[in-house]
Each structure stands twice: as C-alpha cells, then as structure tokens.
Structure 1
Amino acid sequence: MSTVRRRRLYHEDVDGEKFEHLDSGGSGGLNEPLLSNDAYGNSQRFYDDDDVDDWTEKKRNEELVWTNIFSRLIAQWVQWFANVVLGSGTWLGSFFSRTLTGHQGNNQKVVALNLSPLQEERLQNLQRRLEVPFDGTRPDHQESLKALWHAVFPDRELAGLISDQWKEMGWQGPDPSTDFRGGGFISLENLLFFAKKYPKSFQRLLHKQEGKRSAWEYPFAVAGINISFMLTQMLDLRSAKPSSLSATNFLKILAEDEMAFDMLFCVAFEMLDAQWLAKHASYMEFNEVLKATRMQLEKELSLEDVSCVQDLPGYSLLSQ
C-alpha cells in the first residue's frame, strides 16, 4: 500500500468544527456485509450491525422508544385539545397544531412529502438502477468495468477481466465481480462517474496521496461499493415513498439534478477519506468511519439552504 503523504483536507461541519471525532452510534447499517476475506487474508468484514449490540446502546434505544411513546400520547392529547376544545380555526388552535407537527417531525424523523411528477419519475428511475445486480457475464457490464479501468489507468492495457491488475484499484482479488454482491451495478456506475467527473479527487483517494496513513488502508474500490450501499439505506431508496428527513431533502435535490445520487456518492467518498484521516483510522475501524460519514451527510442534508449537492459543505472537498 502506498505510504505517500497527503495534505489534510477540511470542510466545516454544521457545528462549526473541522472533522471532530463523531459519535459513530448512528442508526442503520448494511443489511448484507459486502466483504468476505479482506486484502490481508483475514475474515473481517467492513460493516456489521452487531458492533453496537452493547448494554449502553440497548438502554439508550429503550429510553428513546419510551420517549417516543410518551411524546405520541402527549401529541395526541394536544391535537384533541386544539381541535375539540379550542377549535382548529382559532389562532391558538393553529399554534398547537403547528407545534405538534414540528414536534413529531423532530422525534420521528419522518416528513410527509407530496412528490411532484418529476420527482416521482426520477425516483423510479433511480430505484430501477438499484434493482440491477452486477452480472459479470453481461457484455454491457463487462464494458463498464473496462471503461472504469481505462478512466483510471488510461496509459495501461488491461490484461483481462480477471487479472491481478484489479488489486491496484482496491478490489480484493483478481476478479472484481466477486466484490459487488449487495452493491449491485449502480456501485460500478458510481465509481465510473466519480472517475470521469472528478478525476483529480478520484486519483488522490485511490492512491492515498495525502495525509498520514495507516499501514492497513481501506481498499478503494470495495469501499466505494460500501458507500453506494450506505447511501441507499440512508436515503430509504428501497421504499415506495421515502419519508426520512434525509430522504425527503434528497428528493428535492433529485428534482434539480437527475445525477444527484452519483454526485452525492462523490461527496461521501471524499468525506469518508477525510474522516479516516481525522480519526487516524486503520482497516479494522472502517465500520466506525463509514457510520461517522453517514452521520455527517445526514447533518449536511438537513441544512435549510441546501437545494443541490453543490450546496453541501462537503462538496468543497472535491476537485476536478
């Protein structure tokens, strides 16, 4: 693994700090870990939901459940009081209704959103992309793999679709098709988009050119597959109508840019690497870094003045 040093990259997070160590206890994880044997011959997988299964986390989750139950009971009483006693048409009744709506949204992180025809169309297109598994026997998938190679190494000939050369891009073995599993074909599309749209950033992250690096670095291409899968879960894209706060804000961005998911992938990759450096992380800590990246993305997507991916603070990390 390259030990070339790289300069530190920063962007301000929503609290005004520069990549502080984030609490990685955020909810959500991969339904299916995407790694089996790692590049160093171990059986470690990048992402495992059981890594938060400790007593403190359980206690916190139980407290949150009871808090939500009591919040809903109080909210129902307030709604009844506003509608029946005060009347929803009165000023005070309207105040209670607005307060109730905001309170429920903050606790449950669920937002009602009526999708426009354009949002519906683009969401469905994205969901269709997510349903396509990678198939190494399909000629178009083979051509996409070759296109990725030539975008990354334009002056080098590829020996074949199965070759030890692929390890130089951060695949775990000579056959990249064995690494896709839960990521699907869209993760290859994301990597190819990143390589073509932001080649300087792509090359910098691939070759680990800046910063004090661990002796055990994350494999670049496989990390990209994990990022694609993480974004799918974070944005609730397999639901018929995503309703989380991050998802609804993303759908507004998607209405402005059909390639918003691919753009967000590029930002997420840069953020993950910056988190990696800030935490002085090594291979075994990839789970923690990926969770911290997800938490930071959720914060940035919640900012009121974000209407496109370029408005995210993390976008400033990218260079073409």
Structure 2
Amino acid sequence: MTSRTLRRRLHHGDVDGKGREHVNTSVRDGLNEPLLGNYDYGGSPVEGSTYEDTWDDERKKEHLHWALLFSQLIVQWAQWLANIVLGSGALIGRLLPLPSITHNGQTRKLLARPLSPLQEERLRNLQQRLQVPFDGSRVEHQDALKQLWRLAYPGRALPSLKSELWKEMGWQGSDPSTDFRGGGYISLENLIFFAETYPGPFQSLLHKRDGNRADWEYPFAVAGINVSFMLVQMLDLQSGKPTTLAGMRFLELLGEDEMAFDKLYCVAFQMMDAQWLAKRASYMEFNDVLKSTRTQLERELALEDVSSVKELPAYNLLKR
C-alpha cells in the first residue's frame, strides 16, 4: 500500500481512530492531570473499575511484557548494526524508522537524529515558550485574554477579567486564569493563533455549528488547553531533544516552518471535534476522544510523504 493510499484511508475511513490505537501516555511535570472527564491519563485504574477489568488489565500487561522484550531485541540489533556499519544511528534511523514502544506508560526512546542549526534554534525557542506559565497578574497576559475575546466575539463589549460572560467561551468559571494550571501561556497563544489564522473553523468550533451535538458539550476554551497538553506530551517536547517517532517527525516539520506547532494545534483541535462528532460523545467521554485524536495524529505524522503541516490529511478539515 502506498503512503498516498494510506493517507486517503486515514482521512476518509479512520476518523474515529478505532483501528489499532497506540497511545503514548508518558507525562511529566504538571501535565498529568486532565482538566475534563474522569479518565486517568497515565493509564491507572479509575474509581468504579471492576475486578474483572483489573484481571483483564493484568493479562494485557503480561502480553505487553513479552512483546516489549521482543521489541527491545529489535532495537538493540538496529543500534548494534548502526554502530558497526555507520558509526552513527542517523542513517539507519532514516532507513528503518522504528515505532515508539510504550509499556506501563513509559516510552522507549528511539535512535536520535542530528538536528540542523535551524531546527535546534526553533526547538529551543519553542521550549522557551513552554516554560512560561500563565500569570493573571501580568499585563501582557491580561491583554492576551482580552485579545482572545475580541477575536471570538467581534463587536461585543469586552467584559472585565472576572465575569460570568467568560463561561460563554468555555472557561469553567468567571476567572479564566484559574483554568490554565500546567497549560502555560502557550495554550492561550495557541487559541489566539487559531482565531487569527483560521477564523472560520475557529468560529465553527466555538459556536458548535457543525454536526449533531451532544446535550452535554465540551467547553471550548478548556478543551483547547487540553489539546495543548496532549501535543506537548505526544511530541516529547519537554525532553532536551525529542526521540519519540512523533517528536522526531515534528522536528522535520519545524525545520520547514517555525509555526509548525501552532498550526499542528489547529489541526489537532479540528480533528478532535471531528472525532467527537463521529463518536457521538458527550462531556465525560472527552478524554477518550482526546486519546483517539492523539492516535490518529501520530499515524498521520508517520506518513512518509508529509513534509509540512498542510500535507497532513486532517489539514483538509481546516479548509471547510
């Protein structure tokens, strides 16, 4: 099957992300608490799980254990071959891109690829953005919130920074600053970028214009923060240099476009809403939808003929 055929299948037949879901649930430093739903994003049992569920999980873990041992042998063989033949894992990584291996929530790292000076600079700038927490007392952060309101509701009067009107945008309370938690300032920047760059899709998601919606919908703004969480984890951006498959593929996109993360965020948000509609989900299923979104996005990032965010099959969702 060619990669272009695979892209068509991903776009037209796998929008619900049900096929062979593989989710990297590695979490770090404040990114381990979902803002919506009751799912433990780290994969541990949640309240209300049955003994049979736990037993099934144990059997799955046993199978995963043996699968992991076999996968480790393959990885070690590839590293040995690379060291002997090439003295480096760079070329073998290009010829034999190994999938990320996840076991008990821990991701096995892949052979790191050398970065160009441009990639290193852009990755460093992005990681610096990730380190900025949202601070409701900073004037520039207050101004950013006001900018988001103006973009979301052009022509409407700007409310005070603590107002019940913010709930209309999908914040959980009257003070949006309490919803950021570990999301950081970049999650607000992501929302603003979405509103400025793709105003049509942004407005459609904000006002839930597409499809038959659930009676209990996800809150737009807080869902956007969750999408930022998911991307940071999936792309392994809190590592010095990402070494997961999705992370390394993202670095290639970043080398082509400095705003690749922000554009990928827009794609992921739109993809999440498409998954939401396909699953006919409601509020308490949000984290399951986010997991499916991550699975599909990882698949699309792995496609060989994708060299920019705009070449992802799901980018077409932003053209509607």
Q: TM-score, normalised by structure 2?
A: 0.81
Q: What whole-Å deviation, never above 9, does each CA across 1:222-248 have from its counterpart, x for those lacking one? A: 000000010000000000011011000
2:24 alignment counterpart: 27
Judging changes above 3 Å, is the alpha-carbon distance between structure 1 residues 295 and 57 closer, same or farther for their aligned structure 2 residues?
Answer: farther
Output aligned runs, 1:143-154, within 5 Å.
143-154=143-154
1:234 aligns with 2:234: yes
Question: Which letter maps to 1:211?
Answer: G
Deviation (angstroms), 1:67:
2.5
1:174 alignment counterpart: 174
2:258 alignment counterpart: 258
Deviation (angstroms), 1:201:
0.2
CA contact (8 A) 1:161 1:175 kept: yes
Deviation (angstroms), 1:22:
1.6
Question: 1:252 aligns to what SS in structure 2?
Answer: helix
Question: 1:318 aligns to what SS in structure 2?
Answer: helix
1:249 alignment counterpart: 249
1:93 alignment counterpart: none
Deviation (angstroms), 1:147:
0.4
Question: Which letter maps to 2:123?
Answer: L
1:129 alignment counterpart: 129
- Distance across 1 between alignment mates of 2:313 and 2:247: 18
CA contact (8 A) 1:13 1:313 kept: no
- Distance across 2 between alignment mates of 1:75 and 1:273: 36
Structure 1's unaligned 5+ residue stretches are 1-10, 39-43, 90-96
Deviation (angstroms), 1:154:
1.3
Output aligned runs, 1:170-319, within 5 Å.
170-319=170-319
- Distance across 1 between alignment mates of 2:63 and 2:208: 42
Question: Which letter maps to 1:245?
Answer: L
CA contact (8 A) 2:100 2:244 kept: no
Question: 1:14 aligns to what SS in structure 2?
Answer: helix
Seq. identity, % = 54
- Distance across 2 between alignment mates of 1:29 and 1:214: 30
- Distance across 1 between alignment mates of 2:307 and 2:109: 19
Deviation (angstroms), 1:165:
1.0
Structure 2's unaligned 5+ residue stretches are 1-6, 47-53, 102-107
Question: Which letter maps to 2:23?
Answer: G
CA contact (8 A) 1:111 1:248 kept: no
Judging changes above 3 Å, is the alpha-carbon distance between structure 1 residues 58 and 244 closer, same or farther for their aligned structure 2 residues?
Answer: farther
CA contact (8 A) 1:13 1:296 kept: no
Deviation (angstroms), 1:113:
0.7
CA contact (8 A) 1:21 1:278 kept: no
CA contact (8 A) 2:32 2:42 kept: no
CA contact (8 A) 1:170 1:221 kept: yes
CA contact (8 A) 2:205 2:220 kept: yes
Question: 2:241 aligns to what SS in structure 1?
Answer: coil
1:64 alignment counterpart: 64
1:164 alignment counterpart: 164
- Distance across 1 between alignment mates of 2:78 and 2:261: 39
Bigger-Rg structure (1/2): 1
Judging changes above 3 Å, is the alpha-carbon distance between structure 1 residues 178 and 64 closer, same or farther for their aligned structure 2 residues?
Answer: same
Judging changes above 3 Å, is the alpha-carbon distance between structure 1 residues 147 and 25 closer, same or farther for their aligned structure 2 residues?
Answer: same
Deviation (angstroms), 1:58:
4.0
Judging changes above 3 Å, is the alpha-carbon distance between structure 1 residues 182 and 309 closer, same or farther for their aligned structure 2 residues?
Answer: same
Deviation (angstroms), 1:272:
0.3
Backbone CA RMSD of aligned residues? 2.9
Q: What whole-Å deviation, never above 9, does each CA across 1:270-301 have from its counterpart, x for those lacking one? A: 00000000000000100110000000000000
Question: 2:13 aligns to what SS in structure 1?
Answer: coil
- Distance across 2 between alignment mates of 1:171 and 1:119: 35
CA contact (8 A) 1:29 1:47 kept: no
- Distance across 1 between alignment mates of 2:76 and 2:38: 44
Deviation (angstroms), 1:126:
0.4
State how many pairs are aligned: 291
Q: TM-score, normalised by structure 1?
A: 0.81
Question: Which letter maps to 1:26?
Answer: V
CA contact (8 A) 1:72 1:104 kept: no
Judging changes above 3 Å, is the alpha-carbon distance between structure 1 residues 304 and 25 closer, same or farther for their aligned structure 2 residues?
Answer: closer
- Distance across 2 between alignment mates of 1:51 and 1:14: 29
Question: Which letter maps to 2:189?
Answer: E
1:49 aligns with 2:45: no
Judging changes above 3 Å, is the alpha-carbon distance between structure 1 residues 130 and 13 closer, same or farther for their aligned structure 2 residues?
Answer: farther
Match of 2:96 among 90, 99, 102: 102
CA contact (8 A) 1:21 1:279 kept: no
- Distance across 1 between alignment mates of 2:173 and 2:312: 35
Judging changes above 3 Å, is the alpha-carbon distance between structure 1 residues 160 and 313 closer, same or farther for their aligned structure 2 residues?
Answer: same
Deviation (angstroms), 1:104:
5.5
Question: Which letter maps to 1:128?
Answer: Q
Deviation (angstroms), 1:55:
3.6
Deviation (angstroms), 1:150:
0.5
